Amino acid sequence: MSRPALVAAERRRTRRINVGNVPVGDGAPISVQSMTTTKTADVDGTLAQIYALAAAGADIVRCTCNEAAAAEGLAHIVPRSPVPIVADVHFHYEMALGALEAGVQGLRLNPGNLRKASEIKLVASEAKARGVPIRIGVNAGSLHPEVAARHGGATPEALVESAKIELAYFQEVDFDDVKISVKASSVPLMIAAYRLASETFDHPLHLGVTEAGPPPAGLVKGTAGIATLLAEGIGDTIRYSLTADPVEEARAGRQLLEALGLAERRGVDLIACPSCGRAEIDVIGVAKAAQAALEAREIPLQVAVMGCVVNGPGEARQADLGIAAGKKRGHLFIKGKIVRVVPEDQMVEALVAEAERLVAEGVEARLAAADEGAEAAAEADRAELLGSKGTDANRSLQRVELVRKTVRGDAEAG
């Protein structure tokens, strides 16, 4: 019932790879990734987090593989995971080989930390033999010193060159099942690097602002970088890097794709007015309560919570469902049409109940089931509010008159 948003540019065409059963690139749906924060050797704890990430919207999950115990843990985790697992490898190529033996569906190699050509090519050869793709994960904070020196630091050109060097090693062993990332913690640098990468490679790109920090600033930075590129048609898979529970990363990634119309809606899209002097309820409180209740039920609707009935149903008429506050009662509306009037203390419960019926029965059936007299009762409330508070609820006209008197008084005094 939700409407797809318009993205500014067509998606850039890339090669297709498959991370387990998840296709990436060449027009495949953009996938959401996150990374566990548990010790990978803790099999049960890691699996619990993987399941939580999958429930929050992650299509692919990455686990660190930094020691032998982690590689052994992956052998137990991979067959029990609900989503494909990518092993994150930095310094020791043996860990990559161990992860492949454990059955992972993908590898991430950091070319700034794993530098010996012979080791890189050995890993690529073993991955090729198993049909396992590799992400070349370039990071501005861990560039090879020689690459950084040639470019005067971490520049877009330096990040892309690092990926090109790694890709050349892969090509020597005829391995091209690759996706690429060129991450940075600086949003402008990240955007510029990915734009250059999109012009340089035809491999799928994994987007992310690395080390973005805790929310809300981390969410802002991640969204600024990832959304900008997605709106330009760049990007095939994404990850938010937050200093927070990784479930927040998966949830943010899914919500971003839904907001851009790049993924089918799985959960609620709640819109709410910013409140004003006409508000008859605590809009923030009601909106939070409604969102929590609707998210728990995974209801895929756009739902509006409006502070008053003067303009609420009209302003939110495009929403699938909404509620606006009248005098001690709420006006429930579907596609802008009032279908029920409920007591104020039952607004959230009524909204949730109607949302469940709307998903089950459809719009036409629920409009047909509207309470008789609901629209008339709502109009009476609206007229009363207009009479008591008017359309100028924030008293702007009174302020304008005071400004005029003050200015005229100053002019006359001068």
Secondary structure element (H or E) that encloses residue 136, with its range: strand 134-139
Cα 211 versus chain centre, distance: 16
pLDDT at 209: 96
Residue 401 lies in a domain: no
Distance from C-alpha of 223 to C-alpha of 354, rounded to nearest angstrom: 32
pLDDT at 386: 67
| pLDDT (0 to 100) of residue 229 | 97
- pLDDT for 121: 94
Peptide bond into 216 cis (omega under 30): yes
Same domain, 290 and 226: no
The DSSP secondary structure of 243-275, one letter per residue, reads: SS-HHHHHHHHHHHHHHTTSS---S-EEEE---
* Shared-domain flag, residues 132 and 182: yes
> What residues make up the domain containing 283?
269-389
Full DSSP string of 85-107: EEEEESS-HHHHHHHHHHT-SEE
H or E stretch covering 334: strand 329-334
What are the two backbone dihedrals, phi and then psi, of residue 240, each rounded to the nearest 5 degrees?
-80, 135
Q: Where are the alpha helices (DSSP H) in 300-395?
A: 312-315, 347-361, 363-368, 374-389
Q: Are 57 and 246 in contact (CB under 8 A)?
A: no
The tokens describing 286, both together, are: 């009601």
Query: Which pLDDT belongs to residue 299?
Result: 83
pLDDT at 237: 97
pLDDT for 171 equals 95
- What per-residue confidence (pLDDT) applies to 311? 60
Ramachandran region of residue 4, left (φ > 0), alpha (ψ -120 to 50) or beta?
A: beta
164 and 113 in a single domain? The answer is: yes
Amino acid at 69: A
The predicted structure's pLDDT at residue 287: 82
The confidence score (pLDDT) of residue 5 equals 47
> Largest alpha-carbon pair distance within the chain?
90
**Domain edge (last residue) among 201, 235, 259:** 259
Tell me: do 255 and 275 sit in the same domain: no
Looking at the structure of the chain, the number of domains it has is 2
The structure's pTM equals: 0.80
d(Cα 84, Cα 347) in Å, to the nearest integer? Answer: 41
Is residue 320 domain-shared with residue 184, that is, in the same domain?
no
pLDDT tens, the chain, 414 aa long: 444 444 557 899 999 999 999 999 999 999 999 999 999 999 999 999 999 999 889 999 999 999 999 999 999 999 999 999 999 998 889 999 999 999 999 999 998 888 889 999 999 999 999 999 999 999 998 888 899 999 999 999 999 999 999 999 999 999 999 999 999 999 999 999 999 999 999 999 999 999 999 999 999 999 999 999 999 999 999 999 999 999 999 999 999 999 898 988 777 788 777 656 555 667 788 888 888 888 888 788 888 888 766 665 666 677 888 888 777 778 888 988 889 888 888 888 998 999 999 999 999 999 999 888 888 877 887 777 666 555 554 455 566 777 877 777 665 655
Phi and psi at residue 168, to the nearest 5°: -65, -40
* Structure confidence at residue 316 (pLDDT): 65
User: How far apart (Å, rounded) are the C-alpha atoms in residues 307 and 323?
Assistant: 9
Query: 135: domain CATH number?
Result: 3.20.20.20
According to the model, what pLDDT value does residue 198 have?
Answer: 97
> CA-CA distance, 120 to 50, in Å (whole number)?
28
